[in-house]
A = this chain, B = another copy of it.
Amino acid sequence: MPTQTNENYLKALYYLHQKNSAISITDLGKEMEVSKPTVNDMVKKMQAKGWVKYEKYKPLQLTKQGLREATFIIRKHRLSEMFLSQVMGFGWEEVHDMAEEMEHLKSEMFFDRMDEILGFPTKDPHGSPIPDKNGNFVKPDYRLLSQVEIGKKVVLRALRESSTEFINFLNNKEIKLGTTMTIKQIEPFDKSMTVCYTTHTDVILSHTVCNGLLVEQLT
Contact = CB atoms under 8 A, between A and B. Distances in A.
A131 to B, nearest CB: 21
A101 B106 contact: yes
B107 A97 contact: yes
Taking chain A's interface residues, is the majority helix, strand, or loop, or is none over half, making it mixed? helix
Interface of A: 84, 87-90, 94, 97-98, 101-102, 105-107, 109-110, 113-114, 117
A101 B109 CA distance: 13
Contacts of A97: 107
A84 B114 CA distance: 10
Given A98-B109, A101-B105, 16 more contacts: A84-B110, A87-B87, A88-B110, A88-B113, A88-B114, A88-B117, A89-B113, A89-B117, A94-B109, A97-B107, A98-B105, A98-B107, A98-B110, A101-B106, A101-B107, A102-B105
A137 B58 CA distance: 59
Contacts of A117: 88-89
A117 B90 CA distance: 12
Contacts of A105: 98, 101-102
A117 B88 CA distance: 8
A94 B110 CA distance: 10
A97 B109 CA distance: 11
17 contacts: A84-B110, A87-B87, A88-B110, A88-B113, A88-B114, A88-B117, A89-B117, A90-B109, A90-B113, A97-B107, A98-B107, A98-B109, A98-B110, A101-B105, A101-B106, A101-B107, A102-B105
Contacts of A102: 105
